Chains A and B, each alone.
Chain A
């Protein structure tokens, strides 16, 4: 068969089919466990979940696991290797043990996330207008203005609705003390939300009873919320209902499934660059009945590819003169052009300061301490402690361009040393956070695997936070890299009401 479902794993020889699920589970020695306070003793908000799932035999669990994989295969929620014509299609590994978050804890996170997106939007407005934050020397001007994500074409321009970041996916991790920390903000075109929705749908299919007993907050409203947010920032107010489209790079993009999923759920058209054209600074859709005006473009295309007449001239994915129409105020782009500066990992260390500067509030969410290699002291520290740190390229995402010091070979360390010295502005370093773990099904039965959490925040006229988010999980023992592009899997995230 052309599709491989997850490798059928054998349970630990000692774990028989009759044995109940959590019987053999040993939490990680140092990391925070998302389910268990101590071996055999779940957190209060996980009690019902552990009680219920704990009644399952391993055999029953494995059967449901195959069932879940089949749902993904049959719905074609797969990615394929296109190097081969009959390329094998694979599903993104999905782990059936949910990752719970207590409602009370979530409410704090949610407030922290709201605070963060507000500050980021104010920062973007400032940086493209008066640059007060630079003049007040809260952020070094050269660091900000050298960012690859800074688009001088945006200077002095007010995007429709005043919003820059309409959707952000903020990556959170939990350290060994149980404290959530922000690892990065994805303010360009964050992906993965379709997996949140699909994972939940599959869980409800596979464990219907579980949801009757555990009170889990709904995630299913996301597409409507996003649609409302986009409508609220449409440029026209002439009575017609605004036309929203989702602009995708096309069917060969690995996130195409997500693009078509969201378009379907939002009830909007999925378009490619070739479906749009600009005339008289207005954007039109090529339809079978002639041109149709477009008001809002939810674009899943990076700035670079949006408009070959302004950005990369070799882009075939974009729409010529789109940026002119945008500057004329005739179309909303979500997210706005130029939000990449807020994604820059060398700007990220200043988000806490932005919150204090723009909102006069103390940040509710903390950053991971970060060394900015562009600064001499930070660079020296980084180079001296390379084997203890994680080094990241400032404009990369998806786990690319990254060095995990402790597990790196000396050749890799040398390579990064050279890279940092050659382009210090391109790198930051952080101490290694022992990410929290969650019980995950593996070749050895249930075992702790490191996880992170990406909540999605939607911002139009008001802000809405999806309860939960995407929990990504490393599948390799001890690995701290959870990105799907690096072989990670995902889990359903549960915001569990008090009393579980």
Chain B
């Protein structure tokens, strides 16, 4: 397919996934603050940090941070911007996505701009964020059941899972930035609540407890969210999905990565296969997660060079492949 169109597919689903995950992060923070006394300056700032925002002047003002991450059109990571960008990418490739996808995408784009969305945000914030999560989930379902599972669909998958892998790593990292003063007699209780909130924000509470209820959450939760082979939001699982999509695109078996994108994925997946959560904890969870996020970022660059920004002006084009 056309490289530019593939790129729009990739970014459309990335932005949708990003909107969902931003809503998840905002929701988990809200939940945490309901249960615990957290010093003002540490309540919302971690969310800015993990979104890569370091210069927001009102980081102590919870309402302003939420406003910035939800509605601010000048913030490219805000939910509003993400939905706007998803819709704009979708609009450009309307002839590629299904009619049902477009109509729903457009519907939610109109909704987020409507007074109804604002009013939901003002009066029932948790329901508002649930609605944002549902947008991506519904669109994912519609995509899956109305669009041919061909190359365009593979690029949608690639974008969705790459974004999700990175976001799960970031959500897990919230814990590091939330330096809650822990009086010793409360420490364990607060920790447990934090881990529970993080699991909840990834829809992982129940799947986790079915498998690992007996494990220390300090080890068990990061292990689950990074390494679990089956949970659809774990970093490993997301990267495996990316790998599958990349190899569907090239038609090569998983064992034979050839282009740069496939090799980059192969290398990170392989590394995650070799290391264990204990290695992460020894190195420092935050440091290890930062490394993972950076490597995912590099995979994004490799995808860019492999499929989207290809230099074609070479003379060796005598036998075009289809």
Contact = CB atoms under 8 A, between A and B. Distances in A.
A1 interface: yes
Interface in A256-290: 256-257, 260-261, 263-264, 269-272, 274-275, 277, 279, 284-290
With a 10 A CB-CB cut-off, give which of A74, A257, A287, A288 has the most chain B CB atoms.
A288
Nearest to B4: A275
A84 to B, nearest CB: 11
A269 to B, nearest CB: 6
Interface in B59-100: 73, 88, 91-95
Given A285-B2, A289-B321, A279 B73 contact: no
Given A1-B113, A275-B2, A286-B4, A264 B313 contact: no
Contact of A73 (B95, B102, B110): B110
11 contacts: A3-B110, A260-B93, A260-B94, A270-B5, A272-B4, A274-B4, A286-B310, A288-B249, A288-B307, A289-B321, A292-B322
B274 interface: no
Interface in B163-213: none
Given A74-B106, A75-B106, A272-B4, A290 B114 contact: no
A3 to B, nearest CB: 6
A285 B322 CA distance: 10
B271 interface: no
A1 B114 contact: yes
Interface of A: 1-3, 73-76, 85-86, 251, 256-257, 260-261, 263-264, 269-272, 274-275, 277, 279, 284-293
A277 B313 CA distance: 8
B315 A279 contact: yes
B107 A286 contact: no
B114 A287 contact: no
A269 B113 contact: no
Nearest to B3: A286
B312 A286 contact: yes
With a 10 A CB-CB cut-off, give which of B4, B88, B103, B114 has the most chain A CB atoms.
B4
Contacts of A288: 1-3, 6, 151, 249, 307, 310
B215 interface: no
A27 to B, nearest CB: 39
A147 B4 CA distance: 37
B73 A1 contact: no
B2 A269 contact: yes
B253 interface: no
Given A286-B2, A287-B1, 19 more contacts: A1-B110, A1-B115, A74-B106, A86-B113, A260-B91, A260-B95, A263-B95, A264-B94, A269-B95, A271-B2, A275-B3, A275-B4, A277-B313, A279-B313, A279-B317, A284-B320, A286-B310, A288-B3, A290-B317
Interface of B: 1-6, 73, 88, 91-95, 102-103, 106-107, 110, 113-115, 151, 249, 307, 310, 312-313, 315, 317, 320-322
A251 B91 contact: yes
A316 to B, nearest CB: 14
B307 A290 contact: no
B50 to A, nearest CB: 26
B113 A2 contact: yes
A291 B2 contact: no
Nearest to A271: B2
Contacts of A76: 91, 94, 102-103, 106
B299 to A, nearest CB: 16
A301 to B, nearest CB: 16
A291 B151 contact: no
Given A260-B95, A279-B315, A288-B307, A2 B106 contact: no
Contacts of B4: 272, 274-275, 286
Contacts of B93: 260
B208 to A, nearest CB: 37
Contact of B107 (A74, A264, A269): A74
Contacts of B151: 288
B138 to A, nearest CB: 15
Contacts of A286: 2-4, 310, 312
A462 B184 CA distance: 87
Contact of A2 (B88, B92, B102, B114): B114
A409 to B, nearest CB: 40
Contacts of A291: 312, 317, 320
A460 to B, nearest CB: 22
Contacts of B73: 85-86
A256 B92 CA distance: 8
